Structure 1
Amino acid sequence: MSSRSGGVSPHAVHGLVDADREVALLLDIIAATSSGPEVEPMAAAVARMITAATASDVCFVHVLDDTDQSLTLAGATPPFDEQVGRIRMPLGSGVSGWVASHREPVVIVSDKEADPRYVPIAALRGKDFASMASVPMETEPGGLVGVLNVHTIERRDFTPRDIELLLVIGRLIAGALHQARLHRQLSARERAHENFAEQVIAAQESERRRLAGDIHDGISQRLVGLTYRLDAAARAVDDLDQPAAAEQLEKARDLVDLTLAEARSAIGGLRPPVLDDLGLLGGLASLATSIPEVDLDLHLADERLPEHIEVALYRIAQECFQNVVKHSRALVATVTFTVRDGVARLEVVDNGVGFETGPLSSSGGYGMLSMAERAELVGGTLTVRSRPGAGTTVTVSIPVEG
C-alpha cells in the first residue's frame, strides 16, 4: 500500500486525536523541537513521541546524512537506541530507502519478507514485528530530511488517518531536524578549520625546530671550534711578537663572536626554548628582557593554553615588540595577558608617536597584516587603535576551550 504525502497541513492534527491527546501531542512536538541543536537528542525525542501518539511498539527515525546519499538511524525507542549511528542504508535500499527515493509512504500489514522492497537488518530485529508504516519527513526549503518508521508486534491495519498523522508529525518535526543538520554541518566545518589551523601552525613550528637544530648542530658548533682555533693562533702570534697579525686575528675573533651571537639569536627567534619550558608567561617575560630600549610594564596571567595558540600569541607579541622599538619611538609600554570567560587576550599599549590607522594592509612597516593573519588562523581577531601623538594599542583576542 502506498499513498501520496503532498498536501498535508499541520492543522490536520486536529481531528485525528481527541482533544486531550491533541494537547499532549502538541506539547510533545514543542518539547522535541526544543531539545537542542543536536540531531540525535531531537530524533530520540521524536521516536518516543511518535510511539506514544500512534500506539505502536517501536519507532525508528532515519535522517538523511550530510552527503545526501544515505540514511542514518538517528533516533529509536529502547532498546534499539543502542544502534543509533550504527545503522546506515543508501537511498533506494530497503523500505526506508524506497520511501526516501519516492517520497511516498509505505504500509506493510504482514509478511514483510514477501515485499521486494524489504531488506532485513538483524540489529533491528524485523522478524519480531508483524506490521510497519514508513513515511517521508519533508520540509521547505530543505526538501527530504529523513524517514519515520513505526512497527507493531501484533498485526495492525494502519488506516489513512494513521498515515496522515505520521505525515503531519513528520512535517512539523522536519524543519527542526533540518536546522539541526545544518548546525551539525557548520560545527563540522568549524572543527575542520580549527584542525587545519593547528596542523598548519604545528608544521610551521616543526620546520622552525628543524632549522634551529640545524643551526645549533652545524653553524654554531663550527663557530665555537673556530673560536678555539683563533684563540690558539692568537697565543702563538703573541709569542712571535707580530702585532699586525695579532690585530687581524683579534678582528677575526670579533667577527666570529658577532656571527655566533646572531646564530644564537636566530635559534631563539625560530623556536625559543623558554616557550616549551615555561609556556606563554615565561616566553613573554623572556621576550620583554630582550628589549632594553623600552620600559615594559608586564601584567601576565600564569595560564597554559593549547600549543598552537601559545605560539600564535608569542609570535604576535614578538612582532608587536619589534614595532614598538622600530617605529613608535616609545619610552614606556604596558603588556597585559589575560584568560577570562573562554577568551585569551593580549594587549600591548605604548606611548609612542602613533599613526593614522587604516586598512591593515596599508600599515606597511608595522607588520599589522601578518599579526592579523596569525590571529585569524587560530580563530581570533586583532584590533589596532592609534592616532598621531597618542600612542598605539594592539589587542588580540582568541577564543579558547575550557
Structure 2
Amino acid sequence: MTGLGLTDAAQEARLLSRIIETISTGLDLDAIVRAVAALIIETTATDVCFVHVLDDTGRRLHLRGATPPFDALAGHIELAVGEGVAGWVAAHGEPVVIVDNKLADHRYKYIPALRGEDFTSLASVPVTTPTGHLVGVLNVHSRRRREFTDVDVRLLGTVAGLMAGAIENARLHQRLAEREEALERFAERVVQSQEAERRRLAGDIHDGISQRIVSLSFHLSAAADALPYAPVYAAGQIARAQRLAEAALDETRFAIAGLRPPVLDDLGLTASLESLAGSLPHVEVHVEASPCRLPEHVETAVYRIAQEALQNVVKHAGARTATVRLEVEPGGVVLTVSDDGRGFDPAEVAERAAPTYGLAGMRERAELLGGALTLRSGPGAGTTLRLDVPLRLDVPPPAVGGG
C-alpha cells in the first residue's frame, strides 16, 4: 500500500481544520497531544502515533502522548537527542522514513515496551515552530508495509508545525502557572518567616529587655528615695541599675543582630565570613572569597547559612580543618562549606536528626532566595554543603569600597 491517501486537497484541509480546532480548545499539553495523535492515525490510516517532546535542557525527548495501546506509556519513555530514530530526527532536524527492515537501519533503537516488531513502516518528522525552534518529534507507524511519499511527509510536517505552536503555548502557560504557584508559596513563606521573626523579637523584648528595664526602674527609684539619707545604699542601687542597663543594651544588640548581623554592615560579607571563621574553636577554617557586596537579604542569608554550617562542623563533624568558599558567578552566587570530618549518611540525618543539624532552617533560607541547598557526605568522607542562589544579571552588585 502506498501513500497516506491524503493527496486530495479537500481531505487534507479537513484534517488540518480539525487539528486547529483541537489545539484551540485549551492549554492542557497532554490533552492536546493525545487528541492530535488520535486525529493523525484516524485520518492517515496509520496504526499508531507517538509524540516526543523536547525537555527544557534540550538534551532529552520525553514521550508525552501516544495512541492506544501505548497511551499509558506517556511520561515513562525517554530518549537522548541523537538516540533512536526520533533522537536522530531531533539532532538533525530532518524527517526519516523507513519502509521496512528497521533493524538494519543504524538509527533505529528497539524499545521493548513500544513493540517495534509489530510495525513494519514508520515516518518521523521534527516538530518545529515557524522560527525553526525544535519542540519535539512526531512518529507514525504502520503494521503493513507502506511507502510514505514526499506528500505524506510534507503533510505530517504541516501537522507537526501546528502542534509545535500548541505545545509552545501550553508549556508557556504551564510555566506561568508554576511561576505563579511558586510566587504564592514564596509569599506564604515570607509571611511565615516575618511572623516567626516578629514573635522571636517580641519574646526577646518581653522576656529579657523589658524585664531588665522594669528592674532598672525599681533600682533607680530606690536610689532616688534613699539618696538624701543613705547615699551608700543609693550608690549600690545605681551600680545595679548600671549593670542592668548594660545587660539590656547587650540583649538589644543581640535581638537586632538576629535580624541582620551588624558585622555585615561594618565589614562586608567576605570579611564577616573571615571573622566568623576565626572565632571557631578547635577547627582551622580557611576562607576563599573575593571581596564583593551582594543585596542585603542575600548577604544575610549566606552569612547565616555559613554560620549554621560551621557550627555543625564544630559540634558534629570532629574535623580538623574546614573551608568556606564564596564565588560570584554569572547568574548567581555559590557558597560551599566543606570539612575533613567523620561524615555521615545524609539520608539518615534527613530522617532522624534534621533539627539537630539545622538543615531545615538552612533550606528554608535558601528557598526564600529562590536558591537550592545540597549536601554531600558519607561516613569517613567529610561533608560538603553547597548553596546556590540566583542573582539578577541586569543589576550588578555594588563594588566594595567607595569614595
User: TM-score scaled by structure 1?
Assistant: 0.50
CA–CA separation in structure 2 for the residues paired with 1:116 and 1:195 = 48
Task: Report the Cα offset of residue 34 of structure 1.
Answer: 0.8
SS at match of 2:97: strand
Match of 1:117 in 2: 107
Determine which of 17, 25, 37 is the counterpart of 2:15: 25
CA–CA separation in structure 2 for the residues paired with 1:155 and 1:14 = 14
| Pair 1:102-2:92 in alignment | yes
Relative to structure 1, the CA distance from residue 198 to residue 120 in structure 2 (aligned partners, 3 Å threshold; closer, same or farther) is farther
Q: How does 1:2-401 map to 2 (within 5 A)?
A: 16-17=7-8, 19=10, 21-22=11-12, 24-141=14-131, 143-223=133-213, 226=215, 230=219
Deviation per CA, 1:239-266: give whole Å up to 9, x if none.
x9869989x989x99xx9xx99xx9xxx
Task: Report the Cα offset of residue 102 of structure 1.
Answer: 1.2
CA–CA separation in structure 2 for the residues paired with 1:94 and 1:32 = 29
CA–CA separation in structure 2 for the residues paired with 1:107 and 1:119 = 14
Larger radius of gyration: 1
> Quick one: which amino acid aligns to residue 16 of structure 1?
T
CA–CA separation in structure 1 for the residues paired with 2:191 and 2:183 = 12
- Answer yes or no: is the 8 Å Cα contact 1:60–1:77 preserved in 2: yes
> Quick one: which amino acid aligns to residue 7 of structure 2?
L
Relative to structure 1, the CA distance from residue 206 to residue 122 in structure 2 (aligned partners, 3 Å threshold; closer, same or farther) is farther
Question: How many percent of aligned residue pairs carry the same amino acid?
Answer: 51
User: TM-score scaled by structure 2?
Assistant: 0.50
Deviation per CA, 1:281-312: give whole Å up to 9, x if none.
xxxxxxxxxxxxxxxxxxxxxxxxxxxxxxxx
> Quick one: which amino acid aligns to residue 79 of structure 1?
P
CA–CA separation in structure 1 for the residues paired with 2:151 and 2:184 = 49
CA–CA separation in structure 1 for the residues paired with 2:199 and 2:118 = 62
- Answer yes or no: is the 8 Å Cα contact 1:35–1:41 preserved in 2: no
CA–CA separation in structure 2 for the residues paired with 1:123 and 1:212 = 62
Which structure 1 residue ranges, 5 or more long, are not aligned? 1-12, 271-376, 378-402
Task: Report the Cα offset of residue 56 of structure 1.
Answer: 1.4
Relative to structure 1, the CA distance from residue 140 to residue 162 in structure 2 (aligned partners, 3 Å threshold; closer, same or farther) is closer
> Quick one: which amino acid aligns to residue 182 of structure 1?
L
Deviation per CA, 1:300-340: give whole Å up to 9, x if none.
xxxxxxxxxxxxxxxxxxxxxxxxxxxxxxxxxxxxxxxxx
Query: Aligned Cα RMSD in Å?
Result: 4.7
Task: Report the Cα offset of residue 141 of structure 1.
Answer: 2.1
Task: Report the Cα offset of residue 95 of structure 1.
Answer: 0.7
CA–CA separation in structure 2 for the residues paired with 1:171 and 1:228 = 80
- Answer yes or no: is the 8 Å Cα contact 1:39–1:177 preserved in 2: yes
Deviation per CA, 1:43-89: give whole Å up to 9, x if none.
11111111111111111111222232322222211232222233222
Deviation per CA, 1:357-383: give whole Å up to 9, x if none.
xxxxxxxxxxxxxxxxxxxx9xxxxxx
CA–CA separation in structure 1 for the residues paired with 2:229 and 2:112 = 99
Relative to structure 1, the CA distance from residue 74 to residue 214 in structure 2 (aligned partners, 3 Å threshold; closer, same or farther) is same
- Answer yes or no: is the 8 Å Cα contact 2:130–2:161 preserved in 1: no
Task: Report the Cα offset of residue 28 of structure 1.
Answer: 1.7
CA–CA separation in structure 2 for the residues paired with 1:183 and 1:61 = 19
CA–CA separation in structure 2 for the residues paired with 1:65 and 1:245 = 80
Which structure 2 residue ranges, 5 or more long, are not aligned? 259-367, 369-403
CA–CA separation in structure 2 for the residues paired with 1:43 and 1:217 = 62
Match of 1:299 in 2: none
SS at match of 1:16: coil
> Quick one: which amino acid aligns to residue 213 of structure 1?
G
Task: Report the Cα offset of residue 18 of structure 1.
Answer: 6.6
CA–CA separation in structure 2 for the residues paired with 1:61 and 1:245 = 91
- Answer yes or no: is the 8 Å Cα contact 1:58–1:150 preserved in 2: yes
